[in-house]
Amino acid sequence: MKELEKTYNPAAIEDRLYQKWLDNKYFHADAERGKREGKKPFTIVMPPPNITGQLHMGHALDNTMQDILIRYKRMQGYEALWQPGTDHAAIATEVKVIDKLKKEGIDKNDLGREGFLKEAWKWKDEYGSRIIRQLHKMGSSADWDRERFTMDEGCSDAVLEVFTRLYEKGYIYKGSRIINWCPVCKTSISDAEVNHEEQDGFFWHINYPIVGEEGRFVEIATTRPETMLGDTAVAVNPEDERYKDLIGKMLKLPLTDREIPVVADEYVDKEFGTGCVKITPAHDPNDFEVGKRHNLEEICIMNDDATINVPGKYFGMDRYEARKAMVEDLKEQDLLVKVVPHSHNVGTHDRCGTTVEPMVKPQWFVRMDEMAKPAIEALKTGKLKFVPESFGKTYLHWLEGIRDWCISRQLWWGHRIPAYYCQECGEMVVAKSMPEKCPKCGCTHLKQDEDTLDTWFSSALWPFSTLGWPEKTEEMEYFYPTNVLVTGYDIIFFWVIRMVFSGLEQTGECPFDTVLIHGLVRDSQGRKMSKSLGNGIDPLEVIDKYGADALRMTLMTGNAPGNDMRFYWERVEASRNFANKVWNASRFIMMNIEKAPVLDAQPADLTMADKWILSKANSLVKEVTENMDKFELGIALQKVYDFIWEEFCDWYIEMVKPRLWDDNDTTKAAAIWTLRTVLMDSLKLLHPFMPFITEEIFCNLQEEEPSIMISSWPVYKEERNFGPEEHAVEIIKGAVRAIRNVRTSMNVPPSKKAKVFVVSEDQEVREIFEHSKVFFGTLGYASEVAIQADKNGIAEDAVSAVAPQAAIYMPFAELVDIEKEVERLKKEEERLAKELARVNGMLNNEKFVSRAPQAKIDEEKAKLSKYTQMMDQVKERLGQLVK
> Residue 684 and residue 265: Cα distance in Å, rounded?
65
DSSP 225: G
Burial level of 111, CB count in 10 A (0-12/13-18/19+)? middle
> Residue 441 and residue 584: Cα distance in Å, rounded?
81
Which whole-number Å values give the CA distances from 72 to 624, 628, 686, 689, in the listed order? 11, 8, 10, 9
CB 60 within 8 A of CB 555: yes
> Residue 362 and residue 178: Cα distance in Å, rounded?
9
Coil vs helix vs strand at 782: strand
Kind plus residue range of the DSSP H or E element containing 611: helix 608-629
Q: Which of 61, 58, 45, 30 is nearest to 150 (CA)?
A: 45
HSE value, Cβ hemisphere, 13 Å, CA-based, for 354 = 19
Q: Which of 651, 712, 583 is nearest to 71 (CA)?
A: 712
Q: Where are the beta strands (DSSP E) in 58-193?
A: 79-83, 85-86, 148-149, 172-182, 187-189
> Residue 640 and residue 383: Cα distance in Å, rounded?
32
Could you please report the per-residue DSSP string of 519-579?
--EE-TTSPBP-TTTT----HHHHHHHH-HHHHHHHHHTT--TT--EE--HHHHHHHHHHH
Per-residue burial over 804-819, b = 16 or more CB atoms within 10 Å of its CB, e = otherwise: ebbbbbbbbebbbeee
Q: Which of 795, 763, 759 is nearest to 880 (CA)?
A: 795
CB 200 within 8 A of CB 261: no
Kind plus residue range of the DSSP H or E element containing 591: helix 569-595
Which residues, 6 or more positions from 420, have their beta carbon under 8 angstroms from its beta carbon?
428, 429, 430, 431, 434, 435, 446, 447, 448, 449
Q: What are the residues facing 42 on neighbouring strands?
A: 80
> Residue 162 and residue 172: Cα distance in Å, rounded?
10
Cβ neighbour number for residue 467 with a 10 Å cutoff: 26
What is the CA angle 120-122-128, rounded to 5? 85
Residue 531 marked ligand-binding:
yes
Which whole-number Å values give the CA distances from 143 to 43, 61, 470, in the listed order? 11, 19, 21
Q: What are phi and psi of 255, to 5 degrees?
A: 65, 10
DSSP 132: H
Spell out the alpha helix ranges (H) of 128-234. Answer: 130-137, 153-168
Spell out the alpha helix ranges (H) of 263-340. Answer: 285-293, 319-332
Q: How many helices (H) and strands (E) does the chain have?
A: 30, 29
CB 816 within 8 A of CB 749: no
Sign of the CA dihedral 824, 826, 829, 833? negative
CB 736 within 8 A of CB 750: no
Burial level of 295, CB count in 10 A (0-12/13-18/19+)? exposed
> Residue 456 and residue 87: Cα distance in Å, rounded?
9
Q: What are the residues facing 799 on neighbouring strands?
A: 810
Binding-site residues from annotation for ATP: 531
Binding-site residues from annotation: 531
